[in-house]
Amino acid sequence: MQNLKPCPCGETPKSLRIADNGSKWAYVSGNCCDEWSIEFRTQYHRINTDECMALAVEAWNAAGRSSLLTQRAADGEGKCAHPIEWRQNAICLKCGVAVLPRA
């Protein structure tokens, strides 16, 4: 499997599972805990295709991970210029950055 970012559970999945959620949406979860999933657009690809798996990997890696807030702050990340309305649980929904509180 391609390089995958760690799951918020702390493990890095060895593979991803895709669950159908209609014709253009699906869920992707790691084989590590099955407790965290990301909804993504399949672009109408069937879920058992390489094209759909590539979209799933992209969505998995782009998703924000709130359990990594401290690490991201230490790495100098957490800077986002998007409006506060685009944030949910300290994650920017537009860019996926774990957004630190403004001082």
Per-residue pLDDT of the chain (103 residues; tens, 9 = 90+): 669 998 887 789 999 999 988 778 999 999 988 778 899 999 999 999 999 999 999 999 999 876 544 444 444 445 566 666 555 556 666 666 665 554 4
Q: Nearest 5°: phi and psi at 43?
A: 55, 30
For residues 72 and 57, state if they share a domain. Answer: no
CB atoms near residue 72 (< 10 Å): 18
Find all residues with CB under 8 Å of 32, minimum gap 6, and list them.
Answer: 7, 9, 11, 12, 13, 14
- Whether 7 is in a domain gets the answer no
9 lies in a domain? Answer: no
The gap between the terminal CA atoms of the chain, to the nearest Å, is 40
In this prediction, residue 100 carries a pLDDT of: 54
Are 24 and 47 in the same domain?
yes
Whether residue 4 lies inside any domain: the answer is no
Q: Are residues 99 and 77 in the same domain?
A: yes
- Residues 56 and 68 occupy one common structural domain: no
Assigned domain for 72 exists: yes
Coil, strand, or helix at residue 66? helix
Residue-level pLDDT at 79: 57
Question: Which pLDDT does position 36 carry in this prediction?
Answer: 85
**How many domains are contained in the chain?**
2
- Same domain for 50 and 74: no
Could you tell me if 57 and 20 lie in one domain?
yes
pLDDT score, position 97: 64
Q: Is the pTM of this model over 0.75?
A: no
Q: In terms of residue numbers, what domain contains 93?
A: 64-103
Q: Is residue 1 part of a domain?
A: no
